Structure 1
Amino acid sequence: MSYDVVVCGAGVGGLASARALGALGLSVLVLDRQAAPAEVAKGELLQPESVRILHDWGALPALLDGGAVPVSRLAIRDPNGRMLLGLDYDALPGAYRQILCTGYSNVLRALAGTLDPNVEVRRGVLVEEALRDPAGRVTGVRVLDEGRPVEIAARLVVAADGLSSRLRKSVELAGERHDYDHKLLAFDLPGVEVAPEVSAYRGEEGLRLVYPLPGGRCRLYVQIRADEMRGLGADALTGWCDRVLAGLPALAPLAGALRANLRHRQILAVYRLRAPRLATAGLALVGEAAHAVHPMAAQGMNSSLGDAETLADLIRAAGGTEADAVDRALTEYHGTRLRRLDHTATVSHNAARMLTSTTGVARLLGGRMMRHTAANPRLLRLTTGNLAGVDLHRLTPVDRLYQLGLLSDRRAYAGTVRPTANGGTTP
């Protein structure tokens, strides 16, 4: 049994890789150990760069038919709902200037609908390890199919099998995982209308994140301590809910739905992951097999889509699927994507610390950075472009000093208008 490409994992990263590589005319086999996709609270915010990719692949109409909700603002607010920092995507360059809020399963369906006939998806198959030739190059995978060991040869193997990737471990590409000191509690709340924005509330107990979902629903994430929900009975859970609502008056419109759905919740571990290499001879890492970030900045699924697009572009440019051509493309993939992913990880980590720190210097500095960024149109543009993925610019050490209010930025109003003391504006 032989294919041009074997993709291990049928999540967004895996299906995106199959779609992009299948469009090159390659025979692609997608394998996943789950009989059906699990319903999970993740991968629900598509940044503008991802919307562009999905539009190019023909998946956008299906997403919109599935009820994806477009929003144009990511707002950081205080417990009473007052704006602390607003990132307006309408001001971005280019044609894609909105976030799409949708369910993870909707993204999977949209991607599955764009797969070419030369792409085969098989579920209920466990990928055990990579096959390697005497020189160490990956040449396929060994799987368990209905309990039978089977070897499948491939010119390229794509490991999109998640955080605990068996393939990453089998080729000794270790992942460096760092857990945050908190978890997130996720609620899917029906029958609630929320503002058409992604709203991040910065309370005394940390982050509360709210955004609309298809079908008149909304997502609520509540930051909790690692052991906060352990052993809570019904009465204690009600008391916990009351404390959350009392500490964040802006959540009052969600109170009824939250109380009615307290038992329908998911607890999510929050961590960072980075593999030191994204590829080895014959194999590429995609998505959470290679990288993971704090979900607050909505970059995880978006980075997976970018991985898949870049990998396929480089395979096409290599001019064939012979071993030498594939391995040249994989070397370029590692270098190109690692720079982008490191930038994304920095943006995500800084945003997470700003919003999730509850005590000490970190919380104080986070507040200062939000205030001075909100007052500086240039920094606002940079921050919005970095999060959206369409206009990337690293913030310099001097920019950090501007954010902390330690220097005055003479370029703050470059390219915009500046308010004057009498209420007018000046170029």
Structure 2
Amino acid sequence: MAVEYRCCEASFFIHIGIIVLLVLFAGLMSGLTLGLMSLSLVDLEVLAKSGTPQDRKHAAKILPVVKKQHLLLCTLLICNAASMEALPIFLDSLVTAWGAILISVTLILLFGEIIPQSVCSRYGLAIGAAVAPVVRVLVWICFPVAYPISKLLDLLLGDGHEALFRRAELKTLVTLHGNEAGKGGELTHDETTIIAGALELSEKKVRDAMTPLSKTFAIDINAKLDRKLMQEILDKGHSRVPVYYEEKTNIIGLILVKNLLSIHPDDEIPVKNVTIRKIPRVPGDMPLYDILNEFQKGHSHMAVVIKQSNLIQQTSNNVDDLRLDIDSQKTNEGSMKTTNPIRRWKSYPDSQNTYRSSSRGKKWSRDAEASVLQIHDAPLPKLNEDEEAIGIITMEDVIEELLQEEIYDETDVQEDQ
């Protein structure tokens, strides 16, 4: 009788130990299902590259396990289901059938679902990294059953689970990370504003940032640089002034104010006798990112916006050499006469105005005379109605759209006071 009692007692404790292990194992599988599957590959890659040193180690351990998400999901669910199904079998030998069901449901609900999922939802990264070797072993054990199911899920649902944010979602995410949102973010107001402006810049066109021609200061090419006009140019405070011919909608070039320093107002030199630089002409529906890239090339920091709808920038994915094409023809004397001063940004494989890439920037090698408008005594052209200027856009206008704030120079401050 003593031996039989000892055997029963040993069997009782063995069953209790197995029940405890099954509950803990089921809880671990349930917690890992929530903890690991809630971590997307994008989140893990971000943590592995730019997280804290501890998060980098954890993400590096978890990434190889989570890459095949459907296989991991099937493995965890199979192990969880197996442990929960085995639990009533061992409880049935200790208590009655209804007692085994009641106890198993209580244990699984409390210790196998609620507590593990609560803990893993908060510390899923650390727990997942700690048990990653165990999960690898379970994947190989359940591979004959889990792999076919995972392949079926890949076929039906697809195997891509990279949850990338759309542009609007990124903007909202950046706003929530600002310190003004009150959620513990560390981004300042200026940082969130600039990031949001950069995200919105691709949706904006030239017409959204241009200065209308009615508000633009421009001078007639036939005007004289007398004291009154020179004073007006200085009062405006611009570094570049557009030049038009006959009508303000016919912008043919620009002058640099610094080139007027050597001119005496009493000489009343005509505007057409000073250096007039060519000015690009762009359509109103041109994206701001495109014109910003062109401004960076150094051709010009000012462009004329025209209402022509068929003027399209021809781009290529991997074409780096761009130049400005000026339609021109030679006069009888051999000089160049501009017949159509519309400048188009085009791509050429063998351009003279190419740049050389360096480790610290781009250096342009081009003829300075190529950007000067050759007038001489030739009659200036008139543009078609569909090529009339409707506004002016400068690099400052694009930067203001990027910063989403006005940039005030010294002249602006004086006018506001």
- Normalising by structure 2, we get a TM-score of 0.18
In proportion to residue count, which structure has more helix? 2
Higher relative contact order (CA 8 A, sep 6+): 1
TM-score by length of 1: 0.18
- Which is strand-richer, 1 or 2? 1
Larger radius of gyration: 2
